[in-house]
A and B are shown apart, each in its own frame.
Chain A
Amino acid sequence: MAISSAAVRRPSLGADAGRAPRGRGHGRAAAILMSPFFLLFTAVTLAPIGYAVYLSLYRTERSGLGFGGASNVFVGLGNYGRALGDSVYRLGFLHVVEYGVIYVPTMLAAAIAGALLLDSSLARASRLCQLLYFMPSQVPGILAALIWLYLYTPHVSPVISLLTHVGATPNLGQTGWLLPAMANVAIWQYTGYNIVICYAALKAVPRELIEASRVDGASELRTALSIKLPLIGPAATLAGLMTMVGVLQLFTEPLVLNSIAPGSIGAQWSPNLYIFNAAFTNDDFATAAAGSILLALISGALSFVVIRVTRRWREIS
């Protein structure tokens, strides 16, 4: 019955389609077509978030020696206070910000430079180069971190022995080496990806602008810096801001590099590692859930800022 009524009411694609904007049948079809998405979204995103919120409001309490067992007690926002009150958790945010300050500008500068080089009239085999640059981003993050782990291990790594030969003494125990070393893993992995993004933006730059600058006698470098660079600004900014949000999720690199520098990269070095350690080493799901939700809120706020800023950017340009 429902089907037949929907069939009857289905607006034709003819002239009156505009007159009947959205029939009931239309809505139903949309609901049916979108339901798989909402079912999955509820099952794998909303429900776990709800469960995490629930977990974050309770705490397992024991007493005395604990032999009598544990009970689950409602503690309100107590776990949030506990996470925020833990200097190790707060320090994790500082770590990822320090890391981001090194990683994001370096990677972005390299990506823009790479894209401009690819786009210059002197470039050859740009398709092949794009493919090669893009490849590291297809390596799973854990493998990239493992490869670099070996390259950072004293007595095993050719990179370390090379650096030692030229008089440097690399030591991941020192912040001066640690942060660049960790950023380097991500720079290696994602610069190529962002080169491709920036290069695509460059391809959209009207050719007549570039021709005009040549006719005016601008050198290749001058054209790149004064014409192309401002025009790919929005694309590069977007790439940069997206990367910044991703930095908050830092997990794999410190997890893997921990094994060669446990003193400087602790098991709780970044907020994500802190959460992971709370849940799967300390069996403290309450703190892990509270920490996760705080991290999600902060990431969400940052994403919001990113979207607002980039929208303004687009309006200006």
Chain B
Amino acid sequence: MSHPRKRVGRKTAAVCIAAATLLATAACSSSGASTGGDAAPAAAAATYTGSAVVNLSYWSWTLNSQAVVDAFNATHPNIHVTYTHTVNGPNGYSKLFDAFKAGDGPDVFNCEYDMLPEFVSQGLTANLTSYIDAKTQSALGSALPLTTLGGSTWAVPIDIEPAELWYRADLFKKYDLAVPTTWAQFQSEARQLATVDPGAKLGAIPIDDPLWLAALSEQAGAQWYSTSGDSWKVNLTDAASEKVASYWQSLADKKLVLTVTSSSPSYGQAYSNGTVLTQIEPPYEGAYIKSGYPNEAGDWAVAPLPNWSGAATDGSEGGSSSVVDKNTKNLAAAAEFAEWLSTSPQALTTRMQGGKSTSLPVDASAAKAPETAFDTSYFYQHQNVFDLANAAAGTVSKSWIWGPEVPGVDTAMATPLGKVGSGGQLSAMLSTGQGAALRLMKNAGLSASAG
């Protein structure tokens, strides 16, 4: 059986490092963009204290959401949340945009980081800055930069998804390869593998997933989007992104990595027959590997993403947050629910029950219990994949944000990206994306410039 990778992946549950708490203080300091708390006046905890029952609607596609909502309702007598299960991906967002057009959007909804700016720049979402108090700030600090646009916080992060190197420990042993810690080493191991077994590849480029290159570019120090005053800045073609693109282009040209569409049956095939030894994916992928390749139990392990300079850095590849409708009936209640979803141990334990998700909650301390309880028997030497993920989350850049019009930009980039491996160039994806982002933003009337 082949298991095409579920692209629905990119989002799910949640948490972050114990270390993140320490880092959080230093967290929000970036060039032009972000900053959640520093400048904001002393924020109050998001709490609804009224006695009248507030009814809220909540849309999400994540695992166990109904149980999570039930748990919230049971412990919050003055707020009643009604849950609606939606689908992930373009169809789910399409439904959300249509609901907002009809004036019937949910009070709170789940949204991936790369889609957030589209909702925010349409003026649909509530500014939550004044609800993020110091405690929340420190618990969610590692991912708050992702939801902070133009100096205000627009969503409460749930999970953080640092890119990692998932690898077949058994095949690394068989071919006598070392787990690479730098990209230079990744390349040399790939060459060595080619000499031992020309049919095998060290890695794969998913040529239908622009997010993949975004995470790797972020790791190298790129900043595709930022804000400057009242204007969006777009920079997909900086030196860091070009460096990453030419690195992978060279691996693809030398046939040292496979170029494959991750939504096609070939992708699952390549991993179920051991043709490809690694995949660069965030923590949530662990669950997909476990369910997708049951015959490879005990073979898969995860390592930090190789880096460029020797210092551990990382980029985030997916993840989602809770967003509040600007026209919600009760902002305090909606904000309280959104924060509870991310920072309550009960919420995270309920979300992670059954062990079917390996998404990494931003709030590491609140997720400690379910992470410790996770059944590690599938992974190589019973590795607890959360430990490594929590450490990796601490090395994610604290300045990356996404911009508006990302769906259109992705569509534009998909064509040049899809040609990689059959004559196309990864750098063409970057220049196409740069042009498309500026064009689409200006078409929408937004202020945007390169840089």
Contacts and interface: CB of A to CB of B under 8 A. Distances in A.
Interface of A: 60-70, 82, 150, 153-156, 171, 173-174, 259-264, 266-268, 277, 279-284
Contacts of A173: 418-419, 421-423
Counting chain B residues whose Cβ lies within 8 A of the other chain, the interface size class is 35 or more
B120 A267 contact: no
Contacts of A171: 422
Interface of B: 2, 90-91, 93-94, 97, 118, 120-124, 149-150, 152, 207-208, 227, 230-232, 261, 263-266, 269-270, 404-405, 407-408, 411, 414-424, 440, 443-447
Q: Is the interface of B mostly helix, strand, loop or mixed?
A: mixed
Given A262-B417, A282-B408, 8 more contacts: A64-B230, A67-B150, A69-B124, A156-B266, A261-B261, A263-B418, A281-B408, A282-B440
Nearest to B424: A263
A282 B420 contact: no
A136 to B, nearest CB: 22
A270 to B, nearest CB: 14
Nearest to A287: B443
A65 B227 contact: yes
Contact of B422 (A65, A174, A280): A174
Nearest to A64: B230
A284 to B, nearest CB: 8
7 contacts: A62-B123, A62-B446, A66-B404, A262-B415, A263-B416, A281-B407, A283-B93
Given A62-B444, A173-B422, A281-B90, A263 B207 contact: yes
Contacts of A281: 90, 94, 407-408, 411
A154 B266 contact: yes
Given A62-B446, A280-B90, A262 B418 contact: yes
A80 to B, nearest CB: 14
B160 to A, nearest CB: 24
Nearest to B117: A66
B261 A280 contact: no
Given A260-B261, A262-B261, A280-B94, A66 B411 contact: no
Given A155-B269, A281-B408, A65 B149 contact: yes
A155 B266 contact: yes
Contacts of B2: 156
Given A62-B121, A264-B419, A277 B411 contact: yes
Nearest to A285: B101
B261 A63 contact: no
Contacts of A280: 90-91, 94
Contact of A63 (B94, B422, B443, B446): B446
A154 B267 CA distance: 10
Contacts of B227: 65
Nearest to B7: A259
Contacts of B422: 171, 173-174, 263
Nearest to B419: A263
Contacts of B118: 283
B155 to A, nearest CB: 13
